[in-house]
């Protein structure tokens, strides 16, 4: 069974909560064994105890000055695929739900950006970064951004 929730809060408090949850071990009833005493090809006897499996699905809101837009977009979503070329910001298999989420959050599509500008941050290994949308900040009366 899967339960999907969203969190919004202080990063360290959420992290502590997740660490406590990941320490939960639960009883797991094993199915009937085959004539050789194996279940799905593995020797298992009786009931097991398994840990709670936690896989984050997170939304992140990055705020930055408009002048840094190209460098930030390239740093966050200008990811390179296995051939070394920059991958599209939205995997085609994700387009449908990304479009719905973008509309719900009232965001604009990701604009084209300069792929030569980048902050010195490595892409996270084993992590998919899905570009959802972008929103411009309001401005104060003097024209400065309201980040």
Max avg pLDDT among 47-51, 89-93, 113-117, 128-132: 113-117
Tell me how far CA of residue 100 lies from CA of 3, 103, 104, 108, in angstroms. Answer: 21, 5, 6, 12
Domain boundaries, the chain: 11-51, 60-147
Query: What's the pLDDT tens digit per position in 74-107?
Result: 888 887 666 666 666 667 777 888 899 999 999 9
Query: What's the pLDDT tens digit per position in 45-65?
Result: 667 788 888 888 788 888 898
The whole-number pLDDT of residue 107 equals: 92
Backbone angles phi, psi at 68, to 5 degrees: -100, 10
Query: What's the pLDDT tens digit per position in 22-37?
Result: 998 888 776 666 666 6
Max Cα-Cα span within the chain: 79
Please tell me whether the overall predicted TM-score, pTM, comes out greater than 0.85 for this model. no
Tell me the mean pLDDT in the region 113-134.
84
The whole-number pLDDT of residue 11 equals: 84
Alpha-carbon distance of 113 to 134, in angstroms, equals 12
């Amino acid at each position: 069974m899967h339960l999907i929730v969203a969190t919004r809060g202080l990063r360290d408090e959420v992290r502590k909560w997740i660490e406590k949850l990941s320490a939960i071990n639960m009883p797991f009833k094993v199915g009937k064994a085959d004539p050789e005493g194996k279940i799905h090809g593995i020797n298992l006897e009786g009931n097991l105890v398994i840990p709670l499996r936690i896989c984050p699905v997170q939304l992140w809101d990055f705020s930055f000055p408009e002048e840094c837009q190209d460098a930030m977009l390239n740093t966050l979503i200008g990811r390179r695929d296995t051939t070394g070329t920059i991958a599209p910001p939205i995997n085609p298999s994700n387009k449908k739900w990304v479009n719905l989420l973008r509309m719900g959050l009232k965001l604009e599509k990701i604009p084209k950006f300069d792929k030569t500008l980048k902050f010195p941050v490595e892409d996270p290994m084993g992590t998919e970064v899905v570009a959802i949308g972008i929103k411009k900040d309001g401005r104060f009366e003097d024209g400065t951004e309201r980040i």
